[in-house]
Structure 1
Amino acid sequence: MTTKTTTKTKTNTSGTKKTLVIGGHGKTGRRVAERLLIQGREVRIGSRTGEPAFDWHAPATWGPALRDVDRVYVTYQPDLGFPGAADQVGAFAEAAVAAGAGRLVLLSGRGEEAARLAEDRLKDSGADWTVVRASWFNQNFDESFFLEPVRAGEIALPVADAVEPFVDADDIADVVVAALTDGRHAGRTYELSGPRLLSFGEVAAELSKATGREIAYVPVSDGDYRAVLRQEGLPEEFAELFALILDGRNAHLVHGVEEVLGRAPRDFADYAREAAATGVWDV
Structure 2
Amino acid sequence: MTENTAENTAENTAGNTTGNTTLVIGSTGKTGRRVAARLRARGLAVRDGSRSANPPFDWNDRATWEPALRDVRAVYVTYYPDLAAPGAADAVRALAALAVDGGVRRLVLLSGRGEPEAAAAERAVQESGAEWTIVRASWFFQNFDEGHLLEPVLGGTIALPAGDVAEPFVDAEDIADVVAEALTGDGHAGEVYEVTGPRLLTFAEAAAEISDAAGREVRYLPVSAAGYAATLKEYGVPPEEAEVLAGMFADILDGRNAHLADGVRRALGREPRDFADYVKAVAATGVWKG
In structure 2, the residue matched to 1:131 is 134
What residue number does 1:151 align with? 154
Out of 196, 221, 225, the position equivalent to 2:228 is: 225
- Per-residue deviation at 1:282? 1.4
Separation in structure 1 between the aligned mates of residue 190 and residue 132 of structure 2, nearest angstrom? 5
1:282 has 2:289 as partner = yes
Question: How far 1:121 moved relative to its partner?
Answer: 1.2
Task: Please name the residue that 1:141 is paired with.
Answer: 144
The residue that corresponds to 1:256 in the other structure is 263
Aligned counterparts of 1:176 and 1:229: Cα–Cα separation in 2:
29
Deviation for aligned residue 1:251: 0.2
Distance 1:100 1:76 in 2: 21
Q: CA RMSD in A?
A: 1.4
2:191 corresponds, among 159, 165, 188, to: 188
Which residues in structure 2 correspond to 1:15-26 (within 5 Å)? Answer: 15-16=17-18, 17-26=20-29
Instruction: Tell me how far 1:242 sits from its aligned partner.
Output: 2.2
Say whether the 8 Å CA contact 2:174–2:273 is kept in structure 1: yes
Secondary structure at 1:11's aligned position in 2?
A: helix
* 2:37 aligned residue (34, 37, 43): 34
What corresponds to 2:55 in structure 1? 52
Distance 2:39 2:80 in 1: 22
Counterparts of 1:169 and 1:263, CA distance in 2: 15
Paired residue total: 277
Distance 2:222 2:255 in 1: 17
TM-score, length basis structure 1: 0.94
Quote how far apart the aligned CAs of 1:245 are: 4.5
Specify the alignment match of 1:272 in structure 2: 279
Amino acid at match of 1:263: R
Q: CA deviation at 1:88?
A: 0.7
- Mapped partners of 2:161, 2:200: distance in 1: 18
SS of the equivalent of 1:183 reads: coil
| Identity %, equivalent residues | 61
Aligned 8 A contact 1:163 1:245 in 2: no
Shift of the alpha carbon at 1:78? 0.3
Question: Which residue pairs with 1:8 in the alignment?
Answer: 7
1: CA distance between counterparts of 2:42 and 2:232?
41
CA contact (8 A) 1:19 1:71 kept: yes
Q: Which amino acid aligns with 1:192?
A: V
Is the Cα contact below 8 Å between 2:11 and 2:21 reproduced in 1? no
Match of residue 64 from structure 1:
67
Question: Match of 1:261, as an amino acid?
Answer: L
Q: What is the CA–CA distance in structure 2 between the aligned matches of 1:90 and 1:174, rounded to whole Å?
A: 25
Query: Secondary structure, in 3 states, of the residue corresponding to 1:114?
Result: helix
Structure 2: distance between partners of 1:222 and 1:50: 35
Taking the aligned partners of 2:244 and 2:124, their CA distance within structure 1 comes to: 22
Unaligned runs of 5+ in 2: 1-5
| Contact in 1 for aligned 2:22/2:76 (Cα 8 Å) | yes
Match of 2:213 in 1: 210
Find runs of 4+ consecutive structure 1 residues off by over 4 angstroms: none
- Does the C-alpha gap of structure 1 residues 216 and 105 become closer, same or farther in structure 2, counting only changes over 3 Å? same
* 2:253 aligned residue (246, 251, 265): 246
Q: Secondary structure at the match of 1:251?
A: coil
Give how far 1:60 is off.
1.3
